[in-house]
Structure 1
Amino acid sequence: MTSDTTGLPVLVIGAGPIGLAAAAHLLERGLEPLVLEAGPSAATAVREWAHVRLFSPWAEVVDPAAEELLAPTGWTRPDADAYPTGGEWVARYLQPLADVLDECVRYDARVTGVARAGRDRIVDADREQQPFTVHVTRADGREERLLARAVVDASGTWATPNPLGADGLPALGERVAADRISYRVPDLRDPAVRARYAGKRTAVVGTGASAFTALAALADLAQDAPDTHAVWVLRRGLTGSTYGGGTADQLPARGALGLAAKQAVEDGHATALTGFRTAAVERATDGTLTLVAEDGTRTEELDEVIVLTGLRPDLSFLTELRLALDDRLQAPVALAPLIDPNQHSCGTVYPHGARELSHPEQDVHLVGTKSYGRAPTFLALTGYEQVRSVAAALAGDHEAAARVELTLPETGVCGGAGLYDEPTQDQGQDGGCCSVPASPRLITLGTPTTGSSCTPDNRC
């Protein structure tokens, strides 16, 4: 196998927002990108949550290098202060960008393995001189092997949602009840989906933006179908910080989303079950479900369960690479302390780039939501800064790679999500750090305001 990487492309895994931005930055640096997308079109994952509105405005979800590529086509940036849905993000930005990058993108191309050519992860000899070999499976089952000078993994985490079980594993009975369990925010504009939840009792498990959105949607549905009711299942106690940063959040739409849940007390369309850590799902003969907590506490009978407990990275195709990942978050070790929800708010992250995203395997970078591992609250701005820095590093411009060109908005939330058993002093109603003992208790909620702005599981 030749060790000459001259003329080989930089392989980008994933044609989502960050993968397409990476291609734009690589082209700007005079490098050849090759983007492999497992789905049949650009931004396949975003299309699956097209009905959800982002909590970042247009000004923060368009990459500068991508905009330069689009400008000659007559493309114009949408209103900077408006908040797009996922579908609008695709139609008005991501698809046009993919069209410009057309020759650089291959669809229906799923990456199944990445390694050094002729070297498994054990072999040291001449390792860094070898190109990367990338194994790809096409939609028709054909397999191929490609060579690359570097690998930028922007494949995201959408395809691997966290399970219902509080220990990180599927709850007992979760797989058996799969037909009654969803891991996505329901699109209640779809008549079939609307019928699934109308007049039903649905558990919503999770505390992020997706859970807020699902609660708001179900409460709105209850206006037309009065028997519709939600049970909000939280692993922690209900605190000020449960609802996010409120008015202190520098992304107003993100703060408003939490406030909508907090202020939903009027009609009693939901109850909150706090301190509930699911261990099992029991199914009755009539098909209804009961969630059972680790301490034996049981919910009332449920018709449906919506699990919105976050996402995790798929590392299965990277096993032959030497990655340095944090043992808790599965994020790069230099990045993990900056985003660890056990230590601080998961919304305020120092800008970072190639240095924090590097691994012992030279010229491999995990970017976008994949770089966050299991940590939540990823902003598109963060990903755009990541790929700007990575492209500069791969082009040899280490000064530009190390330069910080981003200021991130703060969430207004203090305290760490990982400290949910630790009672602390109440620090106010707009996203304070207070916590209450996490013993199970029910709290009445009402109808959140509609028109919430968010992205699934606090991402983007």
Structure 2
Amino acid sequence: MNASTEALPVVVIGAGPIGLAAAARLVERDVEPLVLEAGPAAGSAVREWAHVRLFSTWGEVVDPAAEKLLAPTGWVKPDAATYPSGGDWAERYLQPLADVLGERVRYGSTVTGVSRTGRDRIVDADRDGRPFVIHYTAADGSEARVFARAVIDASGTWSTPGPAGGSGLPALGEKGAADRIAYRVPDLKDAAVRVRYAGRRTAVIGSGASAFTALAYLADLAKEAEGTHAAWILRRGISGSTFGGGDADQLPARGALGLAAKAAVEDGHADAVTGFRTEAVERDTDGRLVLVGEDGRRLDPVDEVIVLTGFRPDLTFLDELRLGLDERLQAPTDLAPLIDPNQHSCGTVYPHGAHELSHPEKDVYLAGMKSYGRAPTFLAMTGYEQVRSIAAALAGDHEAAERVELTLPETGVCGGAGLFDEPAAAEETGGGCCAAPATLTIGAPVPSGGC
């Protein structure tokens, strides 16, 4: 890297929890960051699930370097033992952090492409010595570009949810039924949303934290609105690990979430349909939706469908870079074996950093939920450790980059084979612990959501 390139900022894509933590870590290292955020405020994706409560405490979702940056402003860290909602996280931590970073954060900036200056994907000559060029659409709709010495993509996966189709593609008729299908956990505290599900039959497709949350929400609603019922669609069967770690989970709120979903089934508020892979979504003569399985089964009509089958990374704007990605998970090659959902859960993935997150394209890193590709087992604490290591590497402190400074809680559902019984399980879990958070009951003081 030449002197002119070294003077350029490190561009961080995304002003969510991990992107802002990356910026704080870079500032701590006297490396200038520039954060490009597509939304109008910090944590724009987090704000879309403001109604859900995390299953990690405040003590686990505030990055240490960010806390140091905030301290001189008079910012007071919330009680470390309490659980924030997504809205709390955004308003009480992410936005104040972004405000401290000031002009280092550009809102309304949607990245459309990243490359090396003067070098497309094919050209080898002097590639590593060239700065990066990042094209983006600015808030006023104009096209803009910025140059960078390195790129940290922490844009997450929230914008690209998985489809209902069991093959990984949208089911036939899925797009045409978009008016009756949701891909997020609904906010049933919102009266306009509540009326959509009250007294109706809803299919919930998925088997992870987000699906548990939806089932618990609908079970609560069923106690108030007669006729409210859920059909829980699982692509695999129900086993001892289906509902997670329960009382054995070292993140108690996460264990409680699975128990709430189990109670929804046992109390008759939801019926489980196992081994069902959706091939088509049809409408009956009354306009209700009928799910058709690959095995020919046709389920009873439902009024609404909630699809919670995980999230996927958007890699389109990185197409001119030479990324080394696992062919199954779309995660960095060295990281993928460590996060394989057939073998690991949130607490069994050991902390990792710059080494595991590196690519053939030097000084490019995918961090946060996006680094996990289609794997659903991400924790905010893991992302904070990732960017601590990346910032150290970019500052030339390789000893710190290789050092592990995080101990994760065990999940209670560890143990290799048996956690998931199919290779496609990553698509079925309903999202990661941070990208698709979940909660136990509407407005309840006992939290059990994502991260």
- The question of whether the paired residues in 2 share the 8 Å contact of 1:338 and 1:350 is answered with yes
Q: Distance in 1 between matches of 2:172 and 2:267?
A: 34
What does 1:253-264 correspond to in 2, within 5 Å? Answer: 253-264=253-264
Query: 1:418/1:220 Cα in 2 relative to 1: closer, same or farther (>3 Å)?
Result: closer
Shift of 1:170: 0.5
Shift of 1:3: 8.4
Deviation string, structure 1 residues 257-285 (Cα, Å, up to 9, x no partner): 11122233564111111111111101124
Q: What is the aligned partner in structure 1 of residue 296 from structure 2?
A: 296
Q: Distance in 2 between matches of 1:147 and 1:174?
A: 41
Question: Match of 1:176, SS?
Answer: helix
Query: 1:206/1:416 Cα in 2 relative to 1: closer, same or farther (>3 Å)?
Result: farther
What does 1:126-137 correspond to in 2, within 5 Å? Answer: 126-137=126-137
- The question of whether the paired residues in 1 share the 8 Å contact of 2:219 and 2:264 is answered with no
Q: What is the aligned partner in structure 2 of residue 436 from structure 1?
A: none
Amino acid of the structure 2 residue aligned with 1:261? A
**Identity score, percent:** 74
Question: Match of 1:264, SS?
Answer: helix
Q: Distance in 2 between matches of 1:327 and 1:369?
A: 17
Q: Between 245-254 and 396-405, report the one with greater CA deviation.
A: 245-254
Amino acid of the structure 2 residue aligned with 1:315? L
Q: Between 114-123 and 241-250, report the one with greater CA deviation.
A: 241-250
Q: What is the aligned partner in structure 2 of residue 164 from structure 1?
A: 164
Q: What is the aligned partner in structure 2 of residue 141 from structure 1?
A: 141
Shift of 1:342: 2.5
Q: What is the aligned partner in structure 2 of residue 81 from structure 1?
A: 81
Q: Distance in 2 between matches of 1:267 and 1:245?
A: 20
Deviation string, structure 1 residues 62-100 (Cα, Å, up to 9, x no partner): 000000000001111111111110001111111111111
Q: What residue ranges of structure 2 are gaps of 5+ in the alignment?
A: 424-439
Deviation string, structure 1 residues 139-168 (Cα, Å, up to 9, x no partner): 332001110000000000000000111111
Query: 1:229/1:139 Cα in 2 relative to 1: closer, same or farther (>3 Å)?
Result: same
Question: Match of 1:130, SS?
Answer: coil
Q: Distance in 2 between matches of 1:345 and 1:95?
A: 30
Q: Distance in 2 between matches of 1:91 and 1:118?
A: 41
Q: What is the aligned partner in structure 1 of residue 410 from structure 2?
A: 410
Q: Distance in 2 between matches of 1:343 and 1:383?
A: 20
Q: Distance in 2 between matches of 1:235 and 1:56?
A: 28
Q: What residue ranges of structure 1 are gaps of 5+ in the alignment?
A: 423-447
Query: 1:124/1:141 Cα in 2 relative to 1: closer, same or farther (>3 Å)?
Result: same
- In the alignment of these two chains, the number of paired residues is 431
Query: 1:454/1:183 Cα in 2 relative to 1: closer, same or farther (>3 Å)?
Result: farther
Question: Match of 1:187, SS?
Answer: coil
Query: 1:292/1:266 Cα in 2 relative to 1: closer, same or farther (>3 Å)?
Result: closer
Q: Between 131-140 and 381-390, report the one with greater CA deviation.
A: 131-140
Amino acid of the structure 1 residue aligned with 2:98? A
- The question of whether the paired residues in 2 share the 8 Å contact of 1:3 and 1:130 is answered with no
Q: Distance in 1 between matches of 2:182 and 2:343?
A: 30
Shift of 1:4: 3.1
TM-score (norm 1): 0.91
Q: What is the aligned partner in structure 1 of residue 447 from structure 2?
A: 453
Q: Distance in 2 between matches of 1:240 and 1:82?
A: 30
What does 1:264-279 correspond to in 2, within 5 Å? Answer: 264=264, 267-279=267-279
Amino acid of the structure 2 residue aligned with 1:420? D
Q: What is the aligned partner in structure 2 of residue 239 from structure 1?
A: 239
- The question of whether the paired residues in 2 share the 8 Å contact of 1:341 and 1:417 is answered with no
- The question of whether the paired residues in 2 share the 8 Å contact of 1:245 and 1:412 is answered with yes
Question: Match of 1:129, SS?
Answer: coil
Q: What is the aligned partner in structure 1 of residue 421 from structure 2?
A: 420
Q: What is the aligned partner in structure 2 of residue 96 from structure 1?
A: 96
- The question of whether the paired residues in 1 share the 8 Å contact of 2:172 and 2:281 is answered with yes
Q: What is the aligned partner in structure 2 of residue 197 from structure 1?
A: 197
Question: Match of 2:404, SS?
Answer: coil
- The question of whether the paired residues in 1 share the 8 Å contact of 2:5 and 2:148 is answered with yes
What does 1:61-460 correspond to in 2, within 5 Å? Answer: 61-264=61-264, 267-345=267-345, 347-413=347-413, 414-416=415-417, 419-420=420-421, 451=444, 453-455=447-449, 459-460=450-451
Shift of 1:103: 1.5
What's the Cα RMSD here? 1.6
Amino acid of the structure 2 residue aligned with 1:121? R
